[in-house]
Amino acid sequence: MVKLLFFCVLYALLNVTGAGIIKWKLKGRVLNQFSDWVSFLLQVEVIFSFFLVFLSALALFKALSASQFSFVIPLVNGINFSLTILVGYFFFKEQLGLVSYAGILLILTGIILLSLNANPHAN
């Protein structure tokens, strides 16, 4: 179970980091023209962020190979969603309301309940 959680968290960290880099590089940019897209996509940081997202997919594949689909996908999506909200709050200064906090709490509660009910070794 620890190995499974490691790959689920690794997936979320790599995925959110890649998306965060793209969001950071998009600040103040407008991608209306094809040339805007090309110049954006050829930036070293953007290429690196795609590499991180690719690595996150490999971590997801490893997690999927270790447990049930119906357990892994909700787990990684819950971790990914929660981490995305935290990155938005701390790095991009996005505001969180009471509903956001309640949503995070419900997601984390759901992850805990799933983990109590799951057979992580079943395929």
Provide the domain limits for residue 62: 2-117
Question: What's the per-residue H, E or C state across 91-122?
Answer: HCCCCCCHHHHHHHHHHHHHHHHHHHHCCCCC
pLDDT digits 0-9 by tens, 47-94: 999 999 999 999 999 999 999 898 899 889 989 988 999 899 999 999
Do 64 and 118 touch, CB atoms closer than 8 A?
no
In a domain, 68, yes or no: yes
pLDDT digits 0-9 by tens, 2-12: 899 999 999 99
In a domain, 49, yes or no: yes
In a domain, 82, yes or no: yes
In a domain, 83, yes or no: yes
In a domain, 7, yes or no: yes
Question: Per-residue confidence at 119, pLDDT binned at 50, 70, 90?
Answer: low
- Quick one: tokens of 43? 């930036």
Contacts of 118 (CB under 8 A, 6+ apart): 67, 68, 71
Confidence (pTM): 0.84
pLDDT digits 0-9 by tens, 7-31: 999 999 999 999 999 999 999 899 9
In a domain, 15, yes or no: yes
In a domain, 122, yes or no: no
In a domain, 89, yes or no: yes
pLDDT at 122 over 90: no
Q: How many domains does the chain have?
A: 1
